[in-house]
Amino acid sequence: MARQRSPQRDPAADAAALLRRLGFAILMIGLPVVALVTRRGVVVLAPIGVALLAIAAVIDGDHRGISVGVASLFGRLAGIAGLVALGWAVLSLAWAPFAAPAGERLGNLAATLALGAAGYLALPVRMRSANLYPLAIGVGLAALVAIGLLLAESRPAWDEETLTRDRGVVALSLLVWPAAAWLHSRGRDLQSVAIVLAVAIATGLAPSALAFAGFATGAAVYLVAASQPHLAARLVGFGGGGLILAAPALALALAPLEPGLAAWRGMILAEPIRLLTGFGFETALRGASVGLVPPGAPATFLFEVWVDLGLVGAAALATAIAAAALGMTRIHSAVAPGALAALSAGLAMLVVGASYTQMWFVTSTMVAALLFAAVERGQFRTQRPKAILGAILGRGKRGTPE
């Protein structure tokens, strides 16, 4: 009797699987931990992890078609609005007072967004659970490391290490939500709550209130979205987008109550036409050095986007945020609350003081979005298949006369 040959292993497929697992390990375990001890850890590790995912996708071809992936990213309202905002930022360099440095930063920003798109296109059609569980391990480990470092250190003044810890905890407050969503989708709610509580403690110990403001906002939205996802999506989408559009009106109305808003009010009244066009990309960041931005101006995304890009850019970004929030109701029900929480956390941190031009924050946001896409791809089977054969046999027995 001839012996049946065992199927041969495909070396290319094995290599692709190894590279993909290593890429996810870098993004899920290495990045959250390294971000706490190295200032540029997020910016350095994210491209390496995405590059490994892209190489794996090229080797084994386990990804959606390029045209399908591009259409899903940029063929919807959120993607179109995002491209409009980016295009207007490029156009604004024509009248920006700092065109050369602003162009360099805008190029880096566009490259980061392109990196995120490449990572999305490289994701496998179906994510294996083995490639997703490291996300919870990495976030949990990073939260414990952050708590230990923040408790052990006492830094009354801001220095390089304090800034690094703060940025790392900010990244952690974004990455906790895809980790919690994955554990919840697997029915591991106890572990999910434990990781969220650990991150809550870390954000509470952080040097600034930025991370805690984002985490608290995300947690509140998560609680609403867990039972009423459509209501939460409308609150985040219309609330965030509406706040961006109404920012100048709020500055004019509340100027007597806050000196920063009074400074913004003076800029609006001095050159009202700039409400439409903006002063040019990155003017809010650099304008104080040449007198374009008065001292004490607000340090918030709402001020920056209106000063840099005016109504056109603000409307495009508000549309992108609203469309993204409303679109999250169409993803898997176990993932949607976490996605809305992460979006609201990012918006809250932008309002409190994070800048939309800071590469570490943009990269952290991109990685969180990429990991959410991976978690969503891991929901292709959430229940065991029904025992159809047993049901048929049982029905046949019941139908057989005695």
**Structure confidence at residue 73 as a pLDDT band (50, 70, 90):** confident
Nearest 5 degrees, angle CA 178-CA 180-CA 184?
A: 115
**How far, CA to CA in Å, does 16 sit from each of 52, 131, 163, 175?**
9, 13, 37, 25
pTM equals: 0.89
238-252 tens-digit pLDDT:
999 999 999 999 999
In a domain, 236, yes or no: yes
Of 227, 185, 209, 174, the C-alpha closest to 341 is 174
In a domain, 8, yes or no: no
pLDDT, greater one: 393 or 47: 47
In a domain, 6, yes or no: no
Tokens representing 348 are 């809250």
According to DSSP, residue 330 is labeled G
In a domain, 127, yes or no: yes
**How long is the chain?**
402
Q: Are 190 and 294 in contact (CB under 8 A)?
A: no
Q: Are 176 and 222 in contact (CB under 8 A)?
A: no
Q: How many CB atoms lie within 10 A of CB 319?
A: 21
Q: What is the mean pLDDT of residues 19-28?
A: 95
In a domain, 400, yes or no: no
Q: Which domain holds residue 211?
A: 14-374
In the predicted model, what is the mean pLDDT of the chain? 89
In a domain, 380, yes or no: no
Least confident range from 65-74, 153-162, 327-336, 371-380: namely 153-162
Q: Are 207 and 166 in contact (CB under 8 A)?
A: yes
Of 334, 289, 391, the C-alpha closest to 188 is 334
Look at residue 159 in the predicted model and tell me its pLDDT.
77
Q: What is the mean pLDDT of residues 40-58?
A: 94
213-237 tens-digit pLDDT:
999 999 999 999 999 999 999 999 9
In a domain, 9, yes or no: no
Tokens representing 71 are 């259409």
| Count of domains observed in the chain | 1
**Structure confidence at residue 402 as a pLDDT band (50, 70, 90):** very low
Amino acid identity of 295?
P
In a domain, 149, yes or no: yes
Q: Tell me: pLDDT of 382 over 60.
A: no
Q: Are 76 and 46 in contact (CB under 8 A)?
A: no
pLDDT, greater one: 393 or 358: 358
